[in-house]
């Protein structure tokens, strides 16, 4: 997975580049969005595995 190091899709005007609070806010927003995507992907994978295990359980319990 390639990480985007550019905070926004639109290039920033030079006046905003010198406004560190705005730049920091945009970097924070981009980082937060990536974190949410990363976590939701992990949760999706975990849920898929859990569903497979849950499907296997009735077969195991049905043996006795």
List, for residues 26-64, the tens digit of each pLDDT value: 889 999 999 999 999 999 999 999 888 888 776 655 555
Nearest to 4, CA basis, from 33, 42, 40, 24: 33
Helical segments of 1-64, H only: 14-17, 20-61
Separation between Cα atoms, residue 22 and residue 42, nearest integer Å = 30
| pTM, two decimal places | 0.48
End-to-end CA distance of the chain: 46
Residue 7 clears pLDDT 60, i.e. is over it? no
User: With bands split at pLDDT 50, 70 and 90, how would you rate the model's confidence at 21?
Assistant: confident
Task: Please check whether residue 41 is in contact with residue 48, taking contact to mean a CB–CB distance below 8 angstroms.
Answer: no
């Amino acid at each position: 997975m390639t990480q985007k190091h550019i905070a926004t899709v639109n290039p920033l005007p030079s006046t905003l580049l010198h406004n560190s609070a705005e730049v920091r806010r945009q970097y924070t927003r981009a980082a937060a969005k990536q974190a949410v995507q990363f976590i939701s992907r992990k949760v999706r994978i975990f849920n898929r595995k859990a569903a497979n295990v849950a499907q296997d359980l009735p077969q195991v319990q049905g043996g006795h």
